[in-house]
Every structure is written in structure tokens, then in C-alpha cells.
Amino acid sequence: MTTESTNDLAREWALEGAENGAVVVAEEQTVGRGRFGRTWVAPGGTGLLFSVIYRHALPRERVLRYTMVGAVSVRAAIATIPGINADDVTLKWANDVHLDGRKVCGILPEAIWEGNALQAVIIGIGINVRVNFAGTDLADKATSIEQHTTHNVDRAQLLANVLETLDVWAARANELSLFLTWRSALSTLGQRVTAVSVSSPGRITMGRAVDVDDDGALLIRDDKGRVHRVISGEVTLQTDSST
């Protein structure tokens, strides 16, 4: 199936009453969306593109927990693919799964609120299975699973594996074990970073990523020793990681 964006279709389904755990999968998207208004491009048959609707009640400040749900589930599924070295599958705060240091999966969680009540969360997931980034701007930043294994990846099987884990973690989204599993896989911690905040547009924080808190925020210590809490944003590693 081709659709504009599985997240948009999942939102329509959610507003029409789709049940907890409903999944929208597409072979190709014509307007695939990434974070920060970017596009997400994967030619037909090269990616795994899907969105899952969850309807567990969580307070507003806990909604980033669904980013953790998506990230740990995708990581677990990729780590068990034959030929993949599990230690090479890491998480980059806030929403990315990396394989051998390059982005292999992006996650786009979107919430539907009615006042302060969470009606549904849509977890949109794009996994690069055999997207060819050679010669593109993303060549040194993005990768595909089949670049790291001689085995063909069965996308249906990979989808089934992610969904199985996703359902388990989504039902435990408020538990400490989810946070600890997520934190232990974060390659961002200990690195010098520049964080661009989304909640306060234009605010840039530079320093060392020292920890995350259990709502999913990144804690950055600047060179004056002050700790800044970044709730939602994008981090880039600073080239000088020696200080």
C-alpha cells in the first residue's frame, strides 16, 4: 500500500476509534514525515514504515516515554537479526536508533489530547532496511540494516518482532524498567553535545550530556557547571570530545 504518511493515516484511524495496538503499514509514503518538519524518504520496498496506535493513559509530562518504547523495541528487534552485532545497535537521544554509529531508524511519536486526557499516542517508525544512501547528503549519517549483514532481511518478520516487543513495553510505559533499559543503550551519554531545543525555539545548549531523567529529558552540564534540562530537541555531537 502507498499512503501519504502512516502517521497521518493512523491519526485518522485513532480519531475514528481504532483500538489500542492498531497498526498502519505502508510499502511506500508519498509525504513521509520526520521530526522538525523534515521529510522521510524510503523508495518502495527499501524500508519498514509503520505507525502504531496506543491508548494507555499517561500524564502529559510522561508522553516522551513512548519514544523510549519505540526505541528499545526497534533496538531489540534489530539486534537479533543474523549477522548483526548487538553491541553496534545503540540509541541516540532522543528518537534515533543507530547501527555502527549511523542512523538506521527514526521514531516520530505524536499524541492526541482531549484537554489533559491522552486519547491516543501514535508511534511512527521508519527503519532503513535496504535504502541506498550512496551519493546522497545522508551518506555519512544514515545506514541500512543490509549494509551490516550478508543475510536478506525479511521485513514482515522484522515488523512482527518489533510489534511483539512494542506491545509489551507500551503496556509498561510508566515502569522504571523501561527507563533503565532505554538509558543503558544511549550512546549520547558522556558525549559533548550541542542541543537545539524544540520546546524553546532557538535555544541552544552546549556541554556534556551527563544523564537523562525518567521523563526522557536530557541533562547537559555546560562549561560553567550548570545543568540544563532539555525536554525535546535534537543533539549533535561536538567534534572535540576530549574535554
Name the residues that contact ligand BTN, by CB under 6 A: 5-7, 29, 32-35, 38, 40, 49-51, 95-96, 106-108, 124-126
Q: Is 56 exposed, middle or buried (0-12, 13-18, 19+ CB in 10 A)?
A: middle
The residue (of 126 and 233) whose beta carbon lies closer to ligand BTN is 126
Instruction: Measure the CA–CA gap between 166 and 163, rounded to whole angstroms.
Output: 5
The residue (of 33 and 155) whose beta carbon lies closer to ligand BTN is 33
Instruction: Measure the CA–CA gap between 126 and 39, rounded to whole angstroms.
Output: 11
CB of 47 to ligand BTN, least distance (A): 7
Instruction: Identify the helix (H) or strand (E) that includes residue 108.
Output: strand 102-114
Find the Cα–Cα–Cα–Cα dihedral 78, 79, 82, 87, rounded to 10°.
140
CB of 34 to ligand BTN, least distance (A): 3
Q: Please identify the residue of the shown chain whose CB is closest to the bound ligand BTN.
A: 106
The residue (of 7 and 208) whose beta carbon lies closer to ligand BTN is 7
Cβ partners under 8 Å of residue 239, min gap 6? none
Q: Are 104 and 144 in contact (CB under 8 A)?
A: yes
CB of 224 to ligand BTN, least distance (A): 32
Q: How many CB atoms lie within 10 A of CB 220?
A: 23
Q: Is 123 exposed, middle or buried (0-12, 13-18, 19+ CB in 10 A)?
A: buried
The residue (of 27 and 221) whose beta carbon lies closer to ligand BTN is 27
CB of 129 to ligand BTN, least distance (A): 12
CB of 97 to ligand BTN, least distance (A): 9
Q: How far apart are the first and last CA of the chain?
A: 49
Q: Are 220 and 193 in contact (CB under 8 A)?
A: yes
CB of 93 to ligand BTN, least distance (A): 12
CB of 40 to ligand BTN, least distance (A): 4
The residue (of 47 and 207) whose beta carbon lies closer to ligand BTN is 47
The residue (of 21 and 34) whose beta carbon lies closer to ligand BTN is 34
The residue (of 49 and 178) whose beta carbon lies closer to ligand BTN is 49
Amino acid at 198: V
